[in-house]
Structures are given as structure tokens and as C-alpha cells.
Amino acid sequence: MKRREPLTNTQLLMTIAIGIFFAMYLAAMVSLKGGFLRFQQIFDLLNDNAYLIIIACALTIVMIGGGINISVGGVIGLTVMACALALNDLQNQSGALGTMEAIGLALGIGLAFGVGQGFLISYLEIQPFIVTLAGMFLSRGLTTILSVNPVKVAHEGFLVVTKTKILLPHLGYIAQNGNQIPGKLEVGAVIALVVVAVLYLMLRFIRLGRNIYAIGGNQQSALMLGINVKRTRFLSYVISGLLSGLAGFVFLMHKPAGNASVAMRSEMDAIAASIIGGTLLTGGVGNVIGTFFGTMILATIQKIIALSPLNESWWQDMASGAMLGFFILLQSVVLSSRENRRARRKDMLKPQKE
């Protein structure tokens, strides 16, 4: 009989995050009822947090490699403002052409920040926190330079795209008047799910993904294995930058307007979602599936509090902080107990001296 392999740290922490999400959601269904009894509530969580799912995955990629990127929120703000202004300048063009040019602009902004920050961190070996902190200030400053006033998108073709919904009739509900209301999923939510799937496959089956795990786990061992550490770290920041630009475009699809405070503090939410999903700040452990459920845990907490009598914003912050602290403590306890068991097992296998 084949011996069953134990779960890796990544798999274990991901499983815990998934289990806690479903337990929390079931508790909300029982206690609050209302919209939590409908599939549309899950779809709404996806629609509202699609951009956060994407940048949380961007953070997961660099955190697995032992880095950090706190500029993602600023890049989203800059992308939203730049694309909003560009779309208004392209009002005379067709919807498809204007939208494609906006997508190109969003990815170009993200790529520029990813390449610039990745080069400074990987090849000049400047601390990631310092470099991405500068990137955050730079992106926020550029956003303000573009416009200090809110900019509402007036491109009719793009607005048609933002109103496009994917209908899921079998996952809808019956209204009080007896009409069948289908489930509705926005295009941005579908993009976020595709990003999660693609990154999961990359980390699991492609050499670049395995190399990111290797340099996050032990950089010296990765060098001894022949892995190009600098190039791998550089590519992880390039991917993170591209995803930040994409997240900005998805945000604009959900809320077609830009202002200087767009996605403010979203980098902190993304880091929290990644940690709750099982990513370690020390690197080498993490999974985008866990990050997805970490984001959904934060979104569910905020929704539960919004439907409760304690619906002030500070209660949401306190609950999110408490949940983050709980997961950090849980990770520490679980991983330390596993290490202790491994150490005891090794001691038992050692030959006893007579």
C-alpha cells in the first residue's frame, strides 16, 4: 500500500484558509440569512473585490520569492486616472478600439513600474520595501499631477463594456413577484478568476514558478541548484507590475471614474489577504488559491459587519485586524508544531549509543 504523503506547509495553510472561509460563510447564512442564502451574494463579493483579488495575487508572487511590493495600490490609482482621461479623449473612437487602447495603457503603466522596481531590487540589490515605497509615492504623485479633480468616464463604448454582465440562470433566485432573477457576474470578476487559475498553473507546473518558491525558501540553496536568482526575482516583480496595471483596469470597469484617492490603502488589504491565505512574509510558502480565499474572507467579514448593527467603518478595520492577527498566530503555532514533530522524528531515527 502506497504511503500517503503529508501535506506541505503551503497546502496545509491553504486548506485552513478555505475551511475558515466556508465556516464563516455558513455561520453568516445561519445567523444573518438575507442575501447570504443566495449565490448572488458570492457573485457580489467577487464583483466588488475583483481588483483586490488580482493585486493580492500580485503580492503573493513577490512574497513567495521573499520580497514585498507596497506600490500596487498607487499603481492602481495611477492606472485608473490615466485610463479615465485617455478614454475621454477617445470618445469619438469605437468602443472596442478605445477599450483596447485603455487596456494597453493600463498594462504599459504596470509594466513600467514592474520593470523599474524589479531592476532596482534584483540587480542593484536595493531593499524591496524602500524601492516599492518610493514607487507608491511616485504613482500617487503622478495621479495628482494628471488631475486633482475626479474624472468620470464618458466613453460610451467603454460604459457598455462596464455594464456587460455574464448571466448564470441556474444560480439565480426567485423574486417575491415570482420572476426568475439570474445570477450576474461582471467581466472583471471573470478576469480575476482567470488570473488566479493562470498563476496557480504557473506556480505549480512551470519552471519560473518553482524557481520563485526556491529563492524564497533558501536563496543560497537556489544558487547552488543553478537558479538565476536575480532574473527570477526580476520577473516576479514584472508579473506583479503587470497585474497591478490589470487590476487598475478592472477597478475602472467596476467603477468608471478616477480620483486621487482611488484604491487608497488597498496594498495593505492585499498583503492581509495574502497572509490570511497562507503566504509567509519570510518567503517560500504560499498559494494563489489560498490568497483568493483570503480575499474572500476579508470581503465576507466586511459584508457581515455592514449587515450587523456595528456597521461603522472602524469595526470593519478592527475585525480585519483581528482576523489577520489570528492567522499570523495560527500559522506560527501550526508551523512550529510541525517542525517540532519533524525534529522528534529525526531524533527517534538516530542510532542509539550503547
- pLDDT higher for 349 or 25? 25
Structural domain contains residue 348: no
**pLDDT surpassing 50 at residue 191:** yes
Q: Determine phi and psi for 257, rounding to 5 degrees.
A: -160, 150
CATH of the domain at 322: 1.10.3470
User: Is 110 a member of any domain?
Assistant: yes
Confidence of residue 106 (pLDDT cuts 50, 70, 90): very high
Q: Is the pTM of this model over 0.75?
A: yes
Higher-pLDDT residue of 4, 137: 137
The pLDDT confidence band at residue 28, using thresholds 50, 70 and 90, is confident
Q: What is the mean pLDDT of residues 219-228?
A: 90
pLDDT band at 93 (very low <50, low <70, confident <90, very high): low
Average of per-residue pLDDT across 51-57: 96
Domain range for 80: 37-328
Answer yes or no: is pLDDT of 30 > 70: yes
Least confident of 81-95, 220-234, 244-258, 307-321: 307-321
pLDDT score for 281: 85
Instruction: Label residue 346 by pLDDT band (50, 70, 90).
Output: low
What is the band of 1 on the pLDDT scale with cuts at 50, 70, 90?
very low
Q: How far apart are CA 60 and CA 281, in angstroms?
A: 9
Is the separation of the CB atoms in 279 and 151 below 8 Å? no
Which pLDDT band, with edges at 50, 70 and 90, does 38 fall under?
Answer: confident
Average pLDDT over the chain reads: 87
Number of domains in the chain: 1
For residue 320, the model assigns a pLDDT of 80
Say whether pLDDT at 225 is over 80. Answer: yes
What is the model's pLDDT at position 96?
Answer: 65
What is the model's pLDDT at position 175? Answer: 67
Q: In 206-312, where does DSSP find H-type helix?
A: 207-217, 219-224, 229-254, 266-276, 288-307
Residue 8 resides in a domain: no
- 343 lies in a domain? no
pLDDT, average across residues 3-10: 70
Residue 46 lies in a domain: yes
String of DSSP letters for 32-76? T-GGGGSHHHHHHHHHHTHHHHHHHHHHHHHHHTT-----HHHHH
* pLDDT tens-digit map of 172-184: 777 667 677 788 8
351 in a structural domain: no
The mean per-residue pLDDT over the stretch 117-125 comes to 96
Residue 23 in any domain: the answer is no
Cβ atoms within 10 A of the Cβ of 173, count? Answer: 15
| pLDDT given at position 83 | 93
pLDDT score for 170: 77
Question: Per-residue pLDDT averaged across 248-264, rounded?
Answer: 90
Q: Read off the pLDDT of each residue in 278-293 and give the average, rounded to a whole number.
A: 91
Identify the pLDDT of residue 5.
Answer: 62
- Which positions ≥6 away from 159 have C-beta within 8 Å? 153, 256
DSSP single-letter state for residue 178: S
Q: How many Å apart are CA 33 and CA 12, to the nearest integer? A: 30
Half-sphere exposure of 53 (CA within 13 A, CB side): 26
The pLDDT, as a whole number, for residue 297 is 92
The answer to whether position 51 is within a domain reads yes
pLDDT at position 201 is 96
pLDDT higher than 70, residue 90: yes
